[in-house]
Amino acid sequence: MEKDKVSEEVIMEVASQVFMEKGMAGARMQEIADRANINKAMLHYYFRSKEKLFDEVFKNAFQKFWPSVEAALLSAHKPEEVFQAIIDAYIRVLMESPYLANFILNEIQRDPDHLEKLMRETGLKPKMMLAFIESLIENGFLVKVDPREFMVNVLSLCLFPFAGQALISRLLWDNDSDSYQTFLSSRRDSIMHLIQKTYFIQQV
């Protein structure tokens, strides 16, 4: 670890790694301290407890998880471009943080109420997205479909290949992780293609 960085930042960085790899229950304060090259007591000096530290990490992760969709929505481009931007954002974020998807999925299951609190704090508004899809349907860009179903499908196609990476790359890519990375990257196009075929009404 670089000495010039403030301890607090270094801690957050390695804590992120450890919590994401092992989850709350599996993570060890000692390991975080070791990786940050500090005494274990320093952890409690900066962040009072494991839970507090975890909360910070989780909050960070959760914000990344829901990429800046609003930006894509508000810059009123063509519908295709909006979705392309959202898909791109997801793929990009997840390729940077390979454990992110799994982390969120699991720690949410561990303590769902905690999620509810965090959602409000991060001020994320899925309803806005639903309304946008609804409007596209009314304006004849999309076929009639439950907007929530549409969203779940896009999310599924974007996130699952990351969440299941360890499994899928072994089963179907002979554990060649480079080639799997290429595949993940190529999904920008293939997911877009899929939803266009299924949900977009061809404009004349």
Partner DNA sequence: ATTTGGATTAACCAAATGGTTAACGACATT
Partner DNA sequence: AATGTCGTTAACCATTTGGTTAATCCAAAT
Contact between 110 and DNA by CB under 7 A: the answer reads no
Taking the complex as a whole, the smallest distance from the CB of residue 31 to DNA amounts, in Å, to: 8
- When the beta carbons of 45 and 160 are compared against its own copies, the nearer one is 160
Q: How far is the CB of 110 from its own copies (least distance, A)?
A: 7
d(CA 172, CA 151): 26
Is the Cβ of residue 95 or residue 105 nearer to its own copies in the bound state? 105
Of the candidates 97, 19, 95, 9, the one whose C-alpha atom is nearest the C-alpha of residue 54 is 19
**Type of residue numbered 102:** N
Candidates 71, 74, 105, 128: give the one binding its own copies (CB under 8 A). 105
Pick one of its own copies, DNA, none as the site partner of residue 39 (Cβ within 5 to 8 A by kind): DNA
The answer to whether 58 touches 118, Cβ cutoff 8 Å, is yes
Q: Is 1 in the site for its own copies (CB under 8 A)?
A: no
Which residue is associated with the tokens 């061809």? Answer: 202
Cα(94)–Cα(104) distance, rounded to whole angstroms?
Answer: 12
Q: How many helices (H) and strands (E) does the chain have?
A: 12, 0
Give the CA radius of gyration of the chain: 20
Maximum Cα–Cα distance across the chain? 67
Interacting residue ranges for its own copies, rule: CB under 8 A: 22-26, 99, 102, 104-106, 108-110, 112, 115-116, 119, 126, 130, 148-149, 151-153, 155-157, 159-161, 163-168, 170-173, 183, 190, 193-194, 197-198
Interacting residue ranges for DNA, rule: CB under 7 A: 7, 27-30, 38-42, 44-45, 48-51
